[in-house]
Structure 1
């Protein structure tokens, strides 16, 4: 588990990099705050006791994502390459690895292009601009998920997001056992047809892994579920609400726009080879 001092140092470096480059880094604070003591997944470079470089690995079954940053005054010195080399032993345990960076980060693009990492896809980060939302469908409801929902939730992730069933099971099992997250099953006429996960990571409320089984898409179920979720979150917390969406998922983008979400940043993902 990362210490409170380490978390503070990471946050300070993030603020410095974001302000300098006018970017939004995706550091997955929900995972940073709940690290597994048995695995070394975070790598630090210090200069005179100041954190000048950081790289984090986020595992999802047999797949992993890498995100990191280097202080503007210490770039082009091989620091991030050194951190990735230090991370090589754990990276070798994963079958597929992605490295992500803000789409508008010139520093990240320079590094990624120099290393000839292949572009894979992009995600938009979206924020909800509060608006009045009508109840769409009385037959759609959200219920709290439990471990007995693991297989159904994982199947929906597999069908909707294209991830392996094995990785989906690993990810959902972990999510269901995390007290800092709230998992929901979306029901339609008493059938379990979708899922979503809610978490407050300190920067706001995030909606994750929102999906409707392909057999039930196009029936307004997703809109009704999202509307119900937004109404509930607004009443309880009153904080900003965010989500990520793959840039080419046009149906999802259309839904989110119609419900009041607006893009405020994008992340590019590149294939990373050991």
Structure 2
């Protein structure tokens, strides 16, 4: 039975975690389920699709906004229940939910090894948009000298225009007014002037780096390496055993930077646009 959920109960979250464990054990890699978002659903909007067989969860699909123009869909189907149309039912329901929301496009995240996921996307009219490498750092980062001119601090209300401008320059899309209001948003300053931004969020023993950008005019000067090293050290000091991030497969400069600090590729994910 497919159900739509506005907010997830503790029992539902546990069922999703159990399903994730079964899927990763069978397929390897990882799933982009955005646990921070799942645990903090507002309960005001339907954002998740679940397929149940009694009390056992066989399939899940989440809708994620991330403050970007495109909505993202990511989900999974129990390995023992595949071939029964569950993926089709989940994606159909998810795309219908997206039609009711304001967005520029919808992106379905498909792990590259998943032939069934790629076929599902194509059958529903999805077209390849871009691909990202998921990377993880399971230990301490490689040591990097700290530039005394660079500081990293929490963003304030007064920083919002600068944060949105940095996101626009770095990612090529117009951020919404809410961009930068995440309490985990950080501002990077060089000689007192904002030159970058990032979000650092810890969930349990894992920490994620999101929306990391250095002003294009200042890239290649070691700022990104210095800042990312600081973020990883902060996450480790705060109790995280693993730090993760994503990078577009076409961004060779960033990929080289991340791997030089100790990040290791986990899986490549393809994004299909609808």
Whether TM exceeds 0.5 here: the answer is yes
Deviation at 1:141, TM superposition (A): 1.1
Structure 1 residues 69-125: Cα deviation after superposition (integer angstroms, max 9, x where no partner): 111222222222222333344311222110001111232123223334211111111
2:40 matches 1:34: yes
C-alpha spacing 1:109/1:155, structure 2 compared with 1 (3 Å) = same
**TM-score normalised according to structure 1 size:** 0.90
1:172 aligned residue: 180
Quote the Cα distance in structure 1 between the aligned partners of 2:267 and 2:234: 25
Deviation at 1:242, TM superposition (A): 1.3
Superposed, which structure 2 residues align to 1:3-22 within 5 Å? 3-22=9-28
C-alpha spacing 1:131/1:58, structure 2 compared with 1 (3 Å) = closer
1:241 aligned residue: 243
1:66 aligned residue: 73
Quote the Cα distance in structure 2 between the aligned partners of 1:132 and 1:172: 29
1:79 aligned residue: 86
Deviation at 1:145, TM superposition (A): 1.0
Name the Cα RMSD after superposition. 1.8
User: 1:141 pairs with 126, 141, 151, which one?
Assistant: 151
1:256 aligned residue: 258
Quote the Cα distance in structure 1 between the aligned partners of 2:132 and 2:31: 12
1:179 aligned residue: none
2:3 aligned residue: none
2:119 aligned residue: 110
Mean CA deviation greater in 111-120 or 96-105: 111-120
C-alpha spacing 1:32/1:16, structure 2 compared with 1 (3 Å) = same
SS at match of 1:45: strand
- Structure 2: runs of 5 or more not aligned: 1-6
Is the CA contact (8 Å cut-off) linking 2:207 and 2:244 kept in structure 1? yes
2:213 matches 1:211: yes
Deviation at 1:236, TM superposition (A): 3.3
Quote the Cα distance in structure 2 between the aligned partners of 1:210 and 1:237: 21
Deviation at 1:221, TM superposition (A): 1.3
Aligned length: 264
C-alpha spacing 1:221/1:23, structure 2 compared with 1 (3 Å) = closer
**TM-score normalised according to structure 2 size:** 0.90
- Structure 1: runs of 5 or more not aligned: 177-181
Is the CA contact (8 Å cut-off) linking 1:55 and 1:84 kept in structure 2? yes
Is the CA contact (8 Å cut-off) linking 2:195 and 2:214 kept in structure 1? yes
